[in-house]
Chains A and B, each alone.
Chain A
């Protein structure tokens, strides 16, 4: 939802309303920024520091000393390259699925909802008032082997008796797409809603058919929302481990599952830290490339 608001261009005017330089802004900024520096920036450095630590021979579990062992990264990658790759594949598939569901939905709300627009917007967010863990657990029931979805699909001829969705990659992707759907829908809605319907009519007037109008007018104009929405879905999906844990099987584990278990089950902090750090770096690089490529720099 953050990007949704971030997208709105600031209202500029002859007098932009900005006050002259003084101490006030620094006083306003200080507490919040100090909080972010202390509990976000410094922890990231702390994470970096932990990632090169080593457990001394014969010491207690959970004690580590700094030895600048960068080989930790290679070790960490080697034990988890499968899960690492899987995270990005699943997150990518979930993003595409979410986009396929959210774009028509956002379009319908923006252009076809009339006076029900506000109600529909509330309905998009409403499911998220129920704890997301409960909803993820509900998916295990919906997709269960004896559940309605699998039973319905099994009616189709040539579908194997052993067909199942639960505990398969498909279930994980469905769960991920579902979880971040509003983060996709709301930014898309925000940029579609700002399109003047008359530009679409103008396009039709200028001999573009429905499809061409969509490709040449609607889609480019909704690009900021599309970029924001895909990022807001992809980033959290790549780091998620709840869906893989609840809806998947041991072979669908994602990088988040590895980080969690390294931290809590194996108590191998350096590996967990190295993996977290790599994940963050990869995502930041991907995001930067993506924003560059899509030419939407006004996101921040």
Chain B
């Protein structure tokens, strides 16, 4: 399958200080990134954050305004897209409507001068479990089937890096879940580096080894799903990944591996390792499922009132008003210790210090929340 026309380096994908400007608009701003060979990497962010532009620069469909992109030791910044050993699963798949499924998948192999493509195509079709559809045309397939074909068409070329641009965006929820597992399986089987662009935080957390959260052309934070969720470093990440309670306060003491924060007469303890700033003005953060409706923990708020309640099956979600101008979200598991509170009931909240984190208080407390979830 080797072809002199196409670069054949293996290794990590590196983006070094890459920027992309459209006129005055800066889509990607001085972005540096290393994606280790063979990993499943997700670029997560709201629409317009620059994630798709980043992907298109890696694919060779856009040229960076500044910076370099390389795979292993080869600089591919200005290489034409048909010369890079990088393939893309396009949003809405972009299957060629005039070609059969077989010819769609054989397309890349044929362009690289391969004469006998039958075995390769059949293997790729079997990998995505679509062997019986080889002679159909794309418009005779369902969305989920087209999605698998798009993956097969890219993977059959054994690229160094496979790019997936919102690949599940057009599918319904159930099919999306199924394809998430499927994609993860395929990635493990072929061992190719996957870069997955999505605005769906759940999708990114389910599939990716490493997630980079992007906002306004920059990477806010990078890490595993657990790291990003449990210990966000910015308000944007805290709000964008799941729901989060942020309480404005001041650090009064940093000693013995913990910081003490006071807010409106309450004091909260935060492990120093979970404090993301040297600033004294902070937001104390805690996830809704970490809150308990009790009052004997180290961190607690008394004299709260339930102002809204909704039952969502596995849990009951309460909106609780603190004694000052602050609303907190609490998820309570629907198991034995259920409190079953009503709107207007008085309640106290408590949570553990090790579930608490602290962020720089000089940012927008609502960053990353209320973002349009759809592209």
The residues of A with any CB-CB pair to B shorter than 8 Å are 14-15
* Residues of chain B within 8 A of A14, CB atoms compared: 52, 56
How many A-B pairs have beta carbons closer than 8 Å: the answer is 5
The residues of B with any CB-CB pair to A shorter than 8 Å are 52, 56, 61-62
**In chain B, what residue has the closest Cβ to A14?**
B52
Provide the bound-state CA to CA distance between A210 and B56, in Å: 48
CB distance from A294 to the nearest CB of B (A): 32
CB distance from A257 to the nearest CB of B (A): 50
Provide the bound-state CA to CA distance between A15 and B52, in Å: 11
Provide the bound-state CA to CA distance between A15 and B22, in Å: 12
CB distance from B268 to the nearest CB of A (A): 45
CB distance from B162 to the nearest CB of A (A): 19
**In chain A, what residue has the closest Cβ to B62?**
A15
5 contacts between A and B (CB under 8 A): A14-B52, A14-B56, A15-B56, A15-B61, A15-B62
* Residues of chain A within 8 A of B62, CB atoms compared: 15
* Residues of chain B within 8 A of A15, CB atoms compared: 56, 61-62
CB distance from B64 to the nearest CB of A (A): 15
* Residues of chain A within 8 A of B52, CB atoms compared: 14
**In chain A, what residue has the closest Cβ to B56?**
A15
CB distance from A39 to the nearest CB of B (A): 36
The 3 closest A-B pairs by CB, nearest first: A15-B61, A14-B52, A15-B56
CB distance from A154 to the nearest CB of B (A): 58
CB distance from B214 to the nearest CB of A (A): 16
CB distance from B96 to the nearest CB of A (A): 15
**In chain A, what residue has the closest Cβ to B53?**
A14
* Residues of chain A within 8 A of B61, CB atoms compared: 15
Provide the bound-state CA to CA distance between A91 and B213, in Å: 64
CB distance from B148 to the nearest CB of A (A): 24
Provide the bound-state CA to CA distance between A14 and B57, in Å: 13
**In chain A, what residue has the closest Cβ to B63?**
A20
**In chain A, what residue has the closest Cβ to B27?**
A14
CB distance from B185 to the nearest CB of A (A): 30
Provide the bound-state CA to CA distance between A14 and B22, in Å: 11
Provide the bound-state CA to CA distance between A15 and B56, in Å: 10
CB distance from A157 to the nearest CB of B (A): 62
CB distance from B171 to the nearest CB of A (A): 20
**In chain A, what residue has the closest Cβ to B61?**
A15
CB distance from B79 to the nearest CB of A (A): 16
CB distance from A14 to the nearest CB of B (A): 7
Provide the bound-state CA to CA distance between A15 and B62, in Å: 8
Provide the bound-state CA to CA distance between A84 and B46, in Å: 63
CB distance from B212 to the nearest CB of A (A): 20
CB distance from A235 to the nearest CB of B (A): 37
Provide the bound-state CA to CA distance between A14 and B166, in Å: 14
**In chain B, what residue has the closest Cβ to A20?**
B63
CB distance from A18 to the nearest CB of B (A): 13
CB distance from B170 to the nearest CB of A (A): 15
**In chain A, what residue has the closest Cβ to B52?**
A14
* Residues of chain A within 8 A of B56, CB atoms compared: 14-15
CB distance from B71 to the nearest CB of A (A): 22
CB distance from B48 to the nearest CB of A (A): 11
CB distance from B311 to the nearest CB of A (A): 32
CB distance from A129 to the nearest CB of B (A): 29
Provide the bound-state CA to CA distance between A14 and B50, in Å: 12
CB distance from A279 to the nearest CB of B (A): 45
Provide the bound-state CA to CA distance between A14 and B62, in Å: 10
CB distance from A22 to the nearest CB of B (A): 14
CB distance from B245 to the nearest CB of A (A): 36
CB distance from A175 to the nearest CB of B (A): 44
Provide the bound-state CA to CA distance between A6 and B61, in Å: 28
Provide the bound-state CA to CA distance between A194 and B150, in Å: 30
Provide the bound-state CA to CA distance between A14 and B61, in Å: 11
Provide the bound-state CA to CA distance between A132 and B62, in Å: 52
**In chain B, what residue has the closest Cβ to A15?**
B61
CB distance from A271 to the nearest CB of B (A): 55
Provide the bound-state CA to CA distance between A79 and B52, in Å: 68
Provide the bound-state CA to CA distance between A14 and B55, in Å: 13
Provide the bound-state CA to CA distance between A270 and B56, in Å: 62
CB distance from A20 to the nearest CB of B (A): 9
Provide the bound-state CA to CA distance between A267 and B169, in Å: 71
CB distance from A57 to the nearest CB of B (A): 67
